[in-house]
Amino acid sequence: MEYNQILEEIQLELTSYKGLGKLPDYIPELAQVDSDKFGCSIVTVEHKKHQIGDVLQKFSIQSISKVFTLAMALSFEGKDLWQRVGVEPSGSAFNSIVQLEYEKGIPRNPFINAGALVIADVLLSRINNPKAKLLEFINMLAGGSHIDINIDVYVSEKNTSAMNTSLAHMLKAYGNINNDINAVLDFYFFQCAIEMSCEELSFALLPFADHTTCFNYAGISLSASRVKRINAIMLTCGFYDESGEFSFKVGLPGKSGVGGGIVAVHPNKYSVAAWSPLLNEKGNSVMGMKALELLTTKTGLSVF
């Protein structure tokens, strides 16, 4: 597959999408990012990389971090995890408190904010220093890169946390948070503030694509079956109430973040990360979404 040529064609076709969308100003630090940035990195299961654009610039991965924390929690809890969080698409905004109340404190899936808070609570119960363990895990997935948080984004998240705090209190009221609420929220803000580049993300997601090999990184061990289940949740829930649209147009398991990043995997073929900061009304990168749609269109391959 001529991925380099395909990426060049994609970048050319994306020219007409420049300037479309808006920066996420509800997290002030993210509103300061250069909106003209774009990068895309593909890594095949043979570990060959194909890249274009700003693939080495780090950005806030935000909700993409939920893939990594879900993998950690599933490694520790196994099937018992699904007693506390579901696997169904939400069909609602990622921070909907109405849906959480309707579901009586059991979040629809691990990728909406309420679900990610439950996952954070699991990790706080299971690990003495979950922040250090999360960074160790991600660094190992990415091949030993130096990955850390952006402290300014972390502070900005904490200072604009009213809705997430409300979700945490409702989860606590329904008995689905065991640890101190402030500790759970702090870990959640920490994971969202992790910074990575497209290149680092594409390597970090590769084990989720190549699930025929043993998944064991920093003591986080998953069977091929559990990796495939994480892929299934990415396919159905990875883009909140735009997940159906992504599946329809792109046809790959993936996950977005309001930092403008999008990751996806083509099982047994490649992982891909795209980044462009301007978001559509659903909170997903305009150019990132289009780039991956063009990728599967031009290759003629998806999971379907």
Predicted local distance difference test score (pLDDT) of residue 240:
83
Q: Would you say residue 142 lies in a domain?
A: yes
**Could you read off the pLDDT of 157-177 as tens digits, one per residue?**
999 999 999 999 999 999 999
Predicted local distance difference test score (pLDDT) of residue 205:
97
- The domain tally of the chain equals 1
Predicted local distance difference test score (pLDDT) of residue 90:
81
Q: Evaluate whether 67 touches 208 at the Cβ level (below 8 Å).
A: yes
The residues of the chain scoring below 70 in pLDDT are 93
Structural domain containing residue 212: 3-299
Provide the CATH number for the domain around residue 74.
3.40.710.10
Predicted local distance difference test score (pLDDT) of residue 238:
96
Distance CA 81, CA 85 (A): 7
Predicted local distance difference test score (pLDDT) of residue 303:
94
Q: Would you say residue 62 lies in a domain?
A: yes
**Could you read off the pLDDT of 131-156 as tens digits, one per residue?**
999 999 999 999 987 999 999 999 99
Q: 240 in the Ramachandran plot: left (φ > 0), alpha (ψ -120 to 50) or beta?
A: left
Angle at which helices 65-77 and 130-141 cross, to 10°: 110
Q: Evaluate whether 7 touches 198 at the Cβ level (below 8 Å).
A: no
Query: How many alpha carbons fall within 13 Å on the CB side of residue 221?
Result: 2
Q: Would you say residue 304 lies in a domain?
A: no
